Amino acid sequence: MKSETIHNVEIPKIGFGTWSVGGGSTPKPSEDGHWLSVLRSALELGYSHFDTAEEYAKGHAETLLGRAVQASGLKRETLFITTKVWPNHLQYDDLLGACQGSLDRLAMDYIDLYLIHWPSESVPLKESFRALNQLVREGKVRHVGVSNFDLTLLKEAQTRSETPILTNQVPYNLADRSYAQNGVLEYCQQNDILVTAYWPVKSSSLRLDNAMQAIAAAHSATPQQIALAWLAAQTRLITIPMSANPKHQAENLQAADIVLSVEEMAQLD
């Protein structure tokens, strides 16, 4: 598996997203058995980076991820866990409490990467990073980052953080280049900040693209794998697809090892 090493941290090119795990926007405990099976499959296949958030199923996704990790028997240090704080918890005391809530649900002593999920229009970054910096000093958080930040906010976050901003998590895929067009992607690549691409695959557009179909056939791969391979080929970029299907989970994980030619990358670009 290819990886990105940044600020002495090695993170796989392909991680596992957990939006919809546990119920999507609301918790659905009746589905726990299904989702624990999904997470167990991902762990057994070799996924080591898991991305979640306190907002996913109102915290239930974190709970299920923690249960799956405990049941796996894997050592905590072999995994890289990302979670995110929701905008209504960005005041200093609220953020400290939100982090402890995530730790309790995950049943873990520390979070590898803690992100501001969305910027707030009412809480200044200075206030939020006062808490994030404190969490790093206490060892509850190893690294900090942001999500859905434009270039102006990203630069401000860098000035407020006592440690390097590890990532900006944004929507980015073959059909959505908005964060390349607004300068965020290039800035991150030039300033040692990872871009974490969420929504990495839009299947409907892939099925209708003749060039994509031809490239996929040349690599004995699916169009979805080629879309992920295109992302994995880019420097300072990782991605977090999600699938409940073990076959598709395995295909997603393998996509990082597909080597696209210069000509194929140009076609996709």
* Segment 41-60, tens digit of pLDDT: 999 999 999 999 999 999 99
Instruction: List the catalytic residues.
Output: 56
- Token digits for 209? 């693209």
- Measured between alpha carbons, how far is 235 from 193 in angstroms, rounded to an integer? 10
Q: Is residue 66 a contact partner of residue 107, using CB atoms and an 8 Å limit?
A: yes
Mean pLDDT score, 99-111: 98
- DSSP β-ladder status, 49-51 and 194-198: unpaired
Mean pLDDT score, 137-152: 98
pLDDT at 209: 78
- DSSP β-ladder status, 237-239 and 80-85: unpaired
Where is 142: in which H helix or E strand?
strand 141-147
Distances (CA, A) of 2 to 159, 173, 188, 258: 31, 19, 19, 10
Residues 6+ apart with CB under 8 A from 107: 66, 67, 69, 70
**Would you mind telling me the total number of residues written for the chain in this entry?**
269
Q: What is the pTM of this model?
A: 0.97
| Fold of domain 11-199+235-241 | TIM Barrel (3.20.20)
Assess whether pLDDT exceeds 90 at residue 228. yes
